[in-house]
């Protein structure tokens, strides 16, 4: 519950410290005294957006701090643990607004994001304002009411987990299916290119080697003539060069021991003789191997033409590039096959998740259908209590496609005059009817939810008399198990307070400031009497006010 609220430098509040009771806290005050300002400040620590215009003194920051008692609230403890925040029985939430408009939020002195603050405050406080009755006509709120009353939270979490998984698989399937469709359209062409390269059966460096061989064959006659001349000059003439080298060596050999350099010269001459003899022999062998082969040239030209065509087609310049392209095409063709396998596997997984999801959805639907009749009766009974004896609510449950809340849609229908002409609440209910209807529904839901604090901001607008008394009784009943904060103009409701706080304007120090104080018993009687009969209440109004407090 909210134990204390500290507001500083906000709107026309310089500084306020407000302590709250654990039961029914009633806040009253004249129009314009600052009750809405109080709610605006409270909204800041509940995660609403900040506006720099609310900063009173532009030379210092504004801050709002709430101290909550959260012992035993498992949802709050779980949130704090999951977000690495200190877990204490006392929970301090603070919001700071700089003059620039920059806002910061803290939980137990640890900075948090606005989203985190909103999630945490949603587990602590339910703030209902007069204009919030719009949510009563929204299908999401209506579904949440039915599920809370039916105790569907655990099953709903399981369903949503399965539903989220189902959506993720659908998304993956859509991506893979589109990819397969796109690549399948290209697959025929890729297959044609691959087959063409596969049929060519090129080997590594084949085209480069064939070009070299073709050049050799085209110059065979000239090469053969050159080799023949080498052979003839070295070995084939009457006085061949090799034979001459041998004779010169023989002439020099007897004198090698007579002069040191003669031996060296003989050695060099011996090497020349051996090398020339080897060159002549090699030239002879090559001459025998080389010749003009027209058939081979034609064969090479055909092979090269195939290779050149493929090189031009794929805009590359080497055999290696063609072989690389062939490998890439093979990989793409293989990917298409693997995509099919992946899609088949995902479809199996989707079916498994869908089966689980629809099982949970069926459990939710059964629980909702089972609840509807008793829910309608409870709400209708409460409507009679709050002065709407002819009004009736009817819950319409229909089957729909799977969504975040299952396979149902819910619509609250309303008949204000026992006409049996039911229409959606958002179309036919007036503001006052919506306010009382919301109170009736929240009084039922509160018993099913672990919300320690409920705040009602003038939802009693448009009612009076017995209806106000019944609203007061309902709030009093609610406050037996949880904290209620209620801003009201109705004396019947103010009379039920466990703590009565008065908001007023203080004109001291030549500046208007909003103040708030807890009223003592006699002050409460006078405040309620003023609500009944004006600024100068009569003795009868005072007695009436005293009776309202007693009863």
Q: What is the pTM of this model?
A: 0.64
What would the mean pLDDT of 197-219 be, rounded to a whole number?
80
pLDDT value at residue 442: 82
pLDDT value at residue 294: 67
Alpha helices in 253-318 (DSSP H): 260-289, 294-313
With cut-offs at 50, 70 and 90, classify the pLDDT of residue 131: very low
| Number of Cβ atoms within 10 Å of the Cβ of 465 | 10
Chain centroid offset of residue 117 CA = 18
What percentage of the chain carries pLDDT values higher than 70? Answer: 92
Distance CA 455, CA 126 (A): 6
Distance CA 146, CA 375 (A): 8
Q: What is the pLDDT of residues 168-195, one digit of tens each?
A: 999 999 998 888 777 777 777 777 887 8
pLDDT value at residue 129: 45
* Token couple for 70: 């959260």
- Which pairing describes strands 125-129 and 392-403: parallel, antiparallel, or unpaired? unpaired
379 vs 265 pLDDT, higher one: 379
Q: Do the Cβ atoms of 207 and 307 come closer than 8 Å? A: yes
CA distances (Å), origin 538, targets 469, 532, 535, 541: 21, 10, 10, 5
Q: Does residue 393 carry a pLDDT above 50?
A: yes
pLDDT value at residue 133: 47
With residues binned 3-state (H G I as helix, E B as strand, rest as coil), the percentages for the chain, rounded to 5, are: 60, 20, 20
Q: Does residue 529 carry a pLDDT above 70?
A: yes
List the single range of 78-92, 114-128, 208-222, 530-544 with lowest mean pLDDT: 208-222
pLDDT value at residue 54: 85
Q: What backbone torsions phi and psi does residue 408 show, to the nearest 5 degrees?
A: -125, 155
pLDDT value at residue 221: 67
Q: Does residue 66 carry a pLDDT above 90?
A: yes
* Token couple for 277: 């003899």
**Stretch (H or E) spanning 331:** helix 319-385
- Which residues neighbour 540 within 8 Å (Cβ) at sequence distance 6 or greater? 533
Most confident stretch, 171-185, 202-216, 227-241, 355-369: 355-369
**Stretch (H or E) spanning 514:** strand 513-518
131 vs 137 pLDDT, higher one: 137
pLDDT value at residue 443: 83
pLDDT value at residue 113: 92
Q: Do the Cβ atoms of 231 and 283 come closer than 8 Å? A: yes
* Token couple for 482: 């949880």
Q: Do the Cβ atoms of 169 and 348 come closer than 8 Å? A: no
Q: Does residue 106 carry a pLDDT above 90?
A: yes
pLDDT value at residue 32: 80
Domains of the chain: 1-124+451-519 (3.40.50.300), 179-338 (no CATH), 520-551 (no CATH)
Q: What backbone torsions phi and psi does residue 410 show, to the nearest 5 degrees?
A: -125, 140
What would the mean pLDDT of 410-439 be, rounded to a whole number?
84
Write down the residue that tokens 């023989």 correspond to: 250
Q: Do the Cβ atoms of 94 and 63 come closer than 8 Å? A: yes
pLDDT value at residue 137: 62
With cut-offs at 50, 70 and 90, classify the pLDDT of residue 425: confident
HSE-CB for 330 with a 13 A CA cutoff: 9
pLDDT value at residue 371: 95
Q: Does residue 130 carry a pLDDT above 50?
A: no
Q: Do the Cβ atoms of 437 and 429 come closer than 8 Å? A: yes
Radius of gyration of the chain (CA): 48
- Mean pLDDT, all residues of the chain: 84
Most confident stretch, 45-49, 358-362, 458-462, 474-478: 358-362
């Amino acid at each position: 519950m909210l134990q204390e609220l500290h507001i500083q430098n906000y709107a026309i509040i310089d500084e306020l410290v407000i302590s709250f009771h654990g039961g029914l806290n009633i806040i009253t005050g004249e129009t314009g005294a600052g009750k809405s300002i109080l709610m605006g400040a409270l909204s800041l620590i509940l995660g609403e957006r900040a506006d720099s215009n609310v900063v009173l003194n532009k030379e210092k920051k504004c801050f709002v701090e709430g101290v909550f008692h959260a012992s035993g609230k498992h949802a709050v403890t779980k949130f704090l643990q999951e977000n690495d925040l200190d877990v204490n029985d006392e929970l301090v939430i603070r919001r700071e607004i700089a003059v620039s408009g920059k806002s910061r939020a803290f939980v137990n002195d640890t900075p948090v994001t606005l989203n985190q603050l909103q999630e945490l405050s949603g587990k602590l406080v339910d703030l209902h304002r007069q204009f919030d009755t719009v949510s009563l006509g929204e299908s999401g709120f209506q579904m949440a009411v039915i599920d809370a009353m039916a105790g569907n939270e655990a099953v709903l979490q399981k369903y949503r987990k399965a539903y989220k998984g189902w959506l993720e698989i659908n998304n993956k399937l859509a991506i893979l299916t589109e990819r397969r469709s796109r690549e399948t359209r290209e697959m025929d062409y890729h297959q044609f290119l691959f087959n063409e390269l596969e049929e060519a059966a090129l080997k590594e460096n084949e085209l480069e080697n064939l070009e070299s061989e073709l050049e050799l064959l085209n110059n065979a006659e000239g090469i053969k003539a050159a080799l023949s001349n080498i052979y003839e000059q070295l070995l084939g003439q009457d006085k061949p060069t090799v034979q001459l080298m041998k004779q010169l060596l023989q002439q020099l050999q007897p004198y090698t021991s007579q002069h040191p350099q003669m031996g060296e010269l003989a050695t060099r001459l011996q090497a020349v003789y051996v090398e020339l003899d080897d060159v002549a022999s090699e030239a002879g062998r090559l001459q025998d191997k080389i010749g003009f082969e027209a058939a081979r040239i034609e064969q090479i030209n055909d092979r090269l033409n195939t290779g050149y065509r493929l090189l031009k087609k794929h805009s590359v310049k080497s055999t290696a590039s063609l072989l690389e392209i062939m490998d890439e095409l093979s990989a793409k063709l293989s990917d298409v096959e693997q995509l099919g396998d992946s899609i088949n596997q995902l479809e199996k997984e989707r079916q498994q998740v869908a089966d689980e999801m629809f099982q949970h959805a069926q459990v939710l639907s059964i629980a909702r259908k089972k609840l509807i009749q008793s829910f309608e009766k409870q709400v209708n009974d409460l409507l009679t209590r709050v002065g709407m004896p002819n009004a009736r609510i009817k819950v319409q449950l229909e089957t729909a496609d799977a969504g975040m809340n299952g396979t149902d849609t819910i619509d609250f229908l309303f008949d204000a005059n026992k006409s049996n002409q039911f229409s959606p609440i958002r179309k036919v209910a007036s503001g006052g009817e919506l306010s009382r209807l919301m109170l009736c529904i929240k009084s039922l839901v509160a018993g099913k939810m672990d919300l320690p604090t409920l705040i009602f901001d003038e939802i009693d607008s448009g009612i009076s008399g017995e209806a106000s008394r019944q609203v007061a009784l309902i709030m009093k009943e609610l406050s037996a198990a949880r904290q209620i904060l209620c801003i009201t103009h109705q004396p019947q409701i103010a009379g039920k307070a466990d703590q009565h706080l008065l908001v007023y304007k203080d004109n001291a120090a030549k500046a208007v400031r909003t103040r708030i104080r807890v009223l003592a018993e006699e002050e409460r009687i006078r405040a309620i009497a003023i609500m009944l009969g004006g600024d100068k209440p009569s003795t009868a109004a005072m007695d009436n006010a005293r009776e309202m407090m007693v009863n």
